[in-house]
Amino acid sequence: MAEAPFGLLAELTHRCPLQCGYCSNPVELVKRNAELDTESWRRVFDQARSLGALQIHLSGGEPLLRPDLPELVVHANSLGCYVNLVTSGVGLSRDRLRDLASRGVDHVQLSLQDATREGNDRIAGIKAFDRKVEAAAHIREEGLPLTVNTVLHRQNLDNIAGIIAMAEEMGAERLELANTQYYGWALRNRAVLLPTREQLSVADPIVAAAQERLRGRMEIVYVIADYHEAHPKPCMYGWGARQLTVAPNGDVLPCPAATVISSLKIENVRDSSLHDIWYDSPSFNAFRGFEWMKDPCRSCPRKEIDFGGCRCQAFQLTGDAANTDPVCSLSPDRSTVDLILETEMTPSVVPAMAMRKMS
């Protein structure tokens, strides 16, 4: 039987002022009229807490676009949960942050697209850099812990030293440097986003040196660019193991990108309880444990380290979510990834970035 989840990622909305082409939200974004209402989200929080979840991450899209965000913060806080606001910073004024903090926000995670105004605003698709800097100052003044999150890719990886310096300047206690995961909009833009081996070989020692220099002052989490690696990264510490995601329309996902697996029947909180979905649904049990694995994963000692890699990536690149993640050097489909690297690292024509927009 599965253990209780540790956290809930509540994607309150897919609406967002930014247009980042690396976004892992689905290309078909949930419209406002299909979002769960306030009372439905309260029930989701109640059920998540009853399951054992201790953290509620309010995300999106941009959660600040929900008028009921203050009410939802109050309710999550009343359940005894640690409340994390995941935001672009656009719209996070000093007064609004102070109000949300007074209602129970414990931590803020702020996205940063690049270290310079020009680079940040180009990637975000709007003029957002100055508002992010202001938001970071408000967070620091309010005394809340701050995590800065930067998704890394070919367009900003050369500026990684500057990104680390900017996070220091913002007063972040934690910096997440996460190489792009290729789902949703990021998959559409993969040919523009995939980093080169040369970029990674320069970036890796810069990050390692900063991790050592800032130890005890700012934690730096570095998520590898797994297309270039011999082994895949662990997928959420195992499918449906520690966290569940509820999408804006109420779909309940074992991982945030699970909707890409078209063969997977996704349950919805409008129809079933989180308890039943977490413990009994076919979607959450599909890839738990090791019995579902094929060789080479089934007989591999790394299966308890990387859990066979990413199920969503396996489905997108091979058509079967039970296959070994093709990133793995032992996968019979590794040539698929090698071909992508060969063709998309040196395209004959560099495509334009498809910016994330609601249709």
Using CA atoms, how far apart are residues 298 and 269, in angstroms rounded to an integer?
A: 33
For the chain, the 3-state helix, strand and coil shares in percent, each to the nearest 5, are: 40, 15, 45
Q: What is the dihedral of CA 132, 155, 228, 328, to 10 degrees?
A: 60
How far apart are the C-alpha atoms of 242 and 248, rounded to whole Å?
20
20 is known to lie in a ligand binding site: yes
Q: What token pair was written down for 149?
A: 């999150």
Cα dihedral sign, 235-238-243-248: positive
CA-closest candidate to residue 7, choices 181, 256, 222, 178 = 256
Contacts of 335 (CB under 8 A, 6+ apart): none
Q: According to the annotation, is 300 in a ligand binding site?
A: no
Per the annotation, does 23 bind a ligand?
Answer: yes
**How many CB atoms sit inside 10 A of residue 332's CB?**
14
Please, what is the angle between helix 69-78 and helix 94-103, to 10°? 30
Query: How far is it, in rounded angstroms, from Cα 297 to Cα 303?
Result: 6
DSSP-derived 3-state class of residue 194: coil
Among candidate residues 212, 182, 203, 128, the one with its CA nearest the CA of residue 340 = 182
Buried b / exposed e along 227-262 (16+ C-beta atoms within 10 A): bbeebbbbbbebbbbebbbbbbbbbbbbbbbbbbbe
Enumerate the known binding-site residues for [4Fe-4S] cluster. 16, 20, 23
Known binding-site residues equal 16, 20, 23
